[in-house]
Amino acid sequence: MLKAIRHWWNQRQPSEEEDRAIFSRLVPSLPLLHGFDDHLRQRLFHRAREFLAAKTFEPAGGLTLKREQEMLVAIQAALPILELGIRWYRGWYAVILYPAEFVAPHSFADPSGVVHEGKRVLAGEAWDRGPMVLSWDDSAGGAYGEYRGNVVIHECAHKLDLLNGDPNGHPPLHSTMRLDDWSTAWSRAYADHSSRVAAGIDTWLDPYGAENAAEFFAVTSEAFFTEPRRLQGWYPRVYDQLKKFYRQDPLLRLG
């Protein structure tokens, strides 16, 4: 039965030529890919196709889903794992796309420890061993540079963080990386960012990063790929750690 399902799924997928044509139409207008040479574009294309083969895309909220939309999300999702491999997105299988921001249930504890149930309006959400849920408007807006940051990369960073258990801003580190270096760089930058947000000081980095260490890792991952010069200028040690973790240096691509 499993073989039959896989055969059916592979049969319904667009060919490599069809996907390459879509990829080629999208790439020139994506600020994320400025500085990519032909070799890197080819690597990203194949990584994006791996993502498309590994994940199912499920429309929600009345969205009509086209292959161009799937490819645009896959390109963004492939960027963080360009040098890591598709196995870093193991343990989950679906991307759910809403037309725009969506309402999700939310539990939170007040200072006295009482748990309350509520709802939040979100642009993206990553469930532990569950789907990645995205707003199409925000996914497209981030890709084309209409919004600061990138919700797809943000949620993918959460997925990487979850590989170590609870999200805490500490994904599995490579054997060549030192835990002390990671912890020191992150704790100092997070404290600085949080103090600025708490004081009401405008910050170029998304204030949502002050929520907790997991969100700080996600927003700095966004900035690593979308605003690398700013991140390197403000938090050079964090930039260096992300460079080692993602095994990429966006500043080198930009020249």
Residues 148, 172: one domain? Answer: no
Q: For position 9, what pLDDT does the model report?
A: 45
Q: Which domain holds residue 43?
A: 27-155
Whether residue 39 has pLDDT greater than 90: yes
Contact 51/80 with Cβ under 8 angstroms?
A: no
Number of domains in the chain: 2
Task: Say whether both 47 and 145 belong to one domain.
Answer: yes
Listed residue (200, 158, 145, 156) closest to 51, CA to CA: 156
Beta strands per DSSP E along the chain: 56-59, 94-98, 102-109, 115-122, 124-126, 132-135
Q: Where residue 43 sits, what CATH number does that domain have?
A: 1.10.472.150
Whole-prediction pTM value?
Answer: 0.89
| Whether residue 42 sits in one domain with residue 131 | yes
Residue 16 lies in a domain: no
- Are 219 and 149 in contact by the 8 Å Cβ rule? The answer is yes
| pLDDT tens readout for residues 120-158 | 666 667 778 889 999 999 999 989 988 888 999 999 999
45 within a domain of the structure (yes/no): yes
What is the average pLDDT across 101-117?
A: 56
- Cβ atoms 61, 103 nearer than 8 A: no
Domain shared by 183 and 103, yes or no: no
The pLDDT score that the predictor gives to residue 195 is 96
Classify residue 37: in a domain, yes or no.
yes
Q: Mind listing the pLDDT tens digit for each residue in 168-184?
A: 999 999 999 999 999 99
CA angle 85, 81, 59 (to 5 degrees): 105
Answer yes or no: is pLDDT of 7 > 50: no
Is residue 14 one of the residues assigned to a domain? no
